[in-house]
């Protein structure tokens, strides 16, 4: 017989509860949970509690939901102020495709990058994640065996995840004349979908329900009609969520219009892929009101990732206007750092700049997207909220930091000045996965050293994909030029991090 679950009570200066309709703030609040479920949220719990933990001047919040969570060593940071991607080997060149793509990492290194990324997610108060990685560095796409190992990592760390191997039937590449080409291999795409179906059947619901399956085709422009039609049918059969990146670039929109004769969202509507099970990062480039109405009619959710697009001068126009139409928003990080507070802050500022004022988008709107909106996108009414019967997915944010300034409203202070690493403790499914900022079972210095070694290997791999295979050290430019040629021979890490 299993032992009865321990009843644990948490106390803090502020608690974000849920009244059945919306978040509400409790001062000097309490959260009590037994096993994986919450029993009580409020003040003055009178029942038995085997352990009380008082976090003092802190905010107890529902854990954040990241539905485009970086599961990688971030490669987009390499493009920052670094010129054209055609020249720096992030995307494939025609000659690289002709030689035959290859893996940048070993199987063990592929799995490690998830351990590194999942640790970062937990460290930043994220309790539910649907990860995303780059396919540019792969021989083709992700594999069943790889994700069987990733599932084990998620289970060990205790992160709630929606997993499945990414699959695709095509890849864009740069031709020698500087134009963009598109290579398709239908057989590989369909084999990837079959692997994703097998993974779903084998792993959905494992680790006590922490691991759930999902269908994760790569991007709309890398998928053929047959692959997406079969994805839609399989999603209906399995009741599985589908995440598909779309409307995220002008080149993508032009390609879909050329090949399919309509806008990306109109094409997805024809394929029956605009449903309440559809999660769509990023929704930036749409074809006017008709496209937005398609989202509303189908019930699909947009996954908003403001930080990664703002770096390149792009933005959703606008969060408030989309939301006013009835479009559901979730949030995603999609890049380093894995900080949803930063995405809330930049998302709020960007929305108000584009909206010309502060009336359409509020601080709470962004917080809701990271909690209730993410839960709705997943079809879960037991996530993204602290209420009796909900899952005990809880993040605690320290409010003592000098950088937060004098406290008026804990949420406003955190969104205006907070950081993900203000999260000091996290519980997922009732299990304490982080305490005092330390993710259980992880040695941070060793983790960072391994990540640094792999990142340098990733940088070297850019030379293989770039036209002419230049010296990899010429592909990346520091913000401040080196004073001498020391950089040509010294390791990029220079100083061992976190020693």
Residue 395 and residue 254 share a domain? no
204 close to 211: Cβ distance less than 8 angstroms: yes
Residue 405 and residue 327 share a domain? no
Residue 307 and residue 240 share a domain? yes
The answer as to whether 489 is a domain residue is no
Residue 413 and residue 329 share a domain? no
The answer as to whether 456 is a domain residue is no
The answer as to whether 307 is a domain residue is yes
Residue 73 and residue 46 share a domain? no
Residue 77 and residue 29 share a domain? no
Residue 34 and residue 171 share a domain? no
* Three-class DSSP category at 428: strand
* Three-class DSSP category at 12: strand
The answer as to whether 187 is a domain residue is yes
* Three-class DSSP category at 203: helix
Return the beta strands (E) in 311-351 as ranges. 328-331
Q: The CATH number of the domain where 435 resides is what?
A: 2.30.40.10
pLDDT of residue 493: 53
Residue 128 and residue 3 share a domain? no
d(CA 232, CA 108) in angstroms, rounded, equals 32
286 close to 306: Cβ distance less than 8 angstroms: no
Residue 282 and residue 145 share a domain? yes
What is the residue range of 168's domain? 64-383
Residue 202 and residue 97 share a domain? yes
Chain-centroid distance, C-alpha 430: 22
The answer as to whether 149 is a domain residue is yes
The answer as to whether 463 is a domain residue is no
| Buried-exposed string 392-412: b where 16+ CB fall within 10 A, e elsewhere | bbbbbbbbebeebeeeeebbe
Write out the chain's pLDDT in tens, 499 residues: 455 789 999 999 999 999 999 999 999 999 999 999 999 999 999 999 999 999 999 999 999 999 999 999 998 888 888 877 778 888 999 999 999 999 999 999 999 999 999 999 999 999 999 999 999 999 999 999 999 999 999 999 999 999 999 999 999 999 999 899 999 999 999 999 999 999 999 999 999 999 999 999 999 999 999 999 999 999 999 999 999 999 999 989 999 999 899 999 999 999 999 999 999 999 999 988 999 999 999 999 999 999 999 999 999 999 999 999 999 999 999 999 999 999 999 999 999 999 999 999 999 999 999 999 999 999 999 999 999 999 999 999 999 999 999 998 999 999 999 999 999 999 999 999 999 999 999 999 999 999 999 999 999 999 999 999 999 988 988 888 888 765 554 555 554 444 3
Residue 130 and residue 10 share a domain? no
468: exposed, middle or buried (C-beta count within 10 Å: 0-12, 13-18, 19+)? exposed
Task: Give the residue from 337, 364, 383 where a domain finishes.
Answer: 383
Domain tally, the chain: 2
pLDDT of residue 398: 98
Q: What is the pTM of this model?
A: 0.96
214 close to 241: Cβ distance less than 8 angstroms: yes
Residue 340 and residue 198 share a domain? yes
Q: The CATH number of the domain where 334 resides is what?
A: 3.20.20.140
């Amino acid at each position: 017989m299993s032992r009865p679950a321990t009843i644990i009570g948490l106390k803090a200066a502020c608690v974000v509860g849920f009244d059945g309709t919306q978040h509400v703030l409790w001062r000097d609040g309490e959260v009590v949970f037994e096993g994986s479920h919450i029993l009580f949220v409020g003040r003055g719990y009178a029942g038995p509690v085997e352990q009380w933990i008082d976090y003092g001047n802190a905010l107890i919040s529902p854990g954040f939901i990241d539905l485009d969570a970086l599961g990688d060593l971030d490669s987009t940071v390499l493009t920052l102020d670094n010129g054209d991607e055609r020249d720096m080997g992030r995307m494939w060149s025609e000659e690289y495709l002709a030689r035959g793509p290859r893996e940048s990492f070993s199987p063990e290194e592929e799995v490690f990058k998830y351990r590194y990324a999942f640790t970062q997610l937990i460290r930043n108060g994220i309790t539910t994640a649907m990860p995303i990685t780059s396919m540019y560095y792969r021989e083709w796409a992700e594999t069943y065996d790889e994700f069987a190992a990733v599932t084990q990592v998620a289970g060990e760390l205790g992160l709630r995840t929606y997993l499945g191997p990414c699959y695709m039937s095509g890849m864009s590449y740069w031709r020698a004349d500087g134009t963009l080409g598109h290579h398709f291999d239908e057989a590989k795409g369909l084999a990837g979908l079959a692997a994703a179906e097998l993974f779903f059947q084998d792993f959905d619901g494992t680790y006590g329900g922490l691991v759930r399956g999902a269908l994760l085709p790569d991007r709309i422009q890398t998928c053929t009609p047959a692959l997406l039609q079969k994805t839609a049918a399989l999603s209906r059969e399995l009741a599985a969520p589908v995440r598909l990146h779309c409307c995220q670039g002008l080149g993508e929109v032009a390609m879909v219009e050329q090949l399919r004769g309509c806008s990306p969202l109109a094409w997805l509507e024809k394929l029956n892929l605009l449903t309440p099970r559809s999660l769509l990062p990023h929704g930036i480039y749409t074809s006017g009101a008709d496209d937005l109405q398609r989202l509303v009619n189908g019930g699909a959710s947009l996954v908003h990732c403001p930080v990664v697009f703002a770096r390149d001068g792009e933005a959703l126009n606008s969060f408030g206007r989309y939301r006013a139409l009835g479009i559901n928003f979730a949030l995603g990080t999609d890049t380093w750092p894995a900080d949803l507070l930063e995405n809330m802050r930049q998302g709020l500022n960007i929305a108000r700049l584009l909206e010309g004022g502060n009336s359409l988008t509020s601080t709470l709107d962004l917080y809701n997207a990271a909690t209730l909106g993410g839960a709705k996108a997943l079809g879960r009414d037991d996530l993204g909220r602290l209420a009796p019967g909900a899952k005990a997915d809880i993040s605690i944010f320290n409010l003592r930091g000098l950088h937060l300034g004098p406290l008026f409203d804990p949420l406003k202070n955190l969104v205006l000045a907070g950081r993900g690493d203000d999260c000091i403790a996290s519980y997922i499914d009732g299990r304490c996965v982080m305490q005092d900022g330390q993710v259980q079972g992880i040695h941070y210095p060793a983790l960072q050293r391994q990540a640094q070694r792999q990142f340098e290997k990733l940088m070297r791999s850019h030379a293989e994909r770039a036209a002419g295979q230049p010296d990899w050290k010429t592909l990346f430019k520091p913000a401040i030029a080196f004073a001498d040629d020391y950089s040509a021979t010294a390791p990029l890490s220079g100083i061992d991090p976190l020693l």
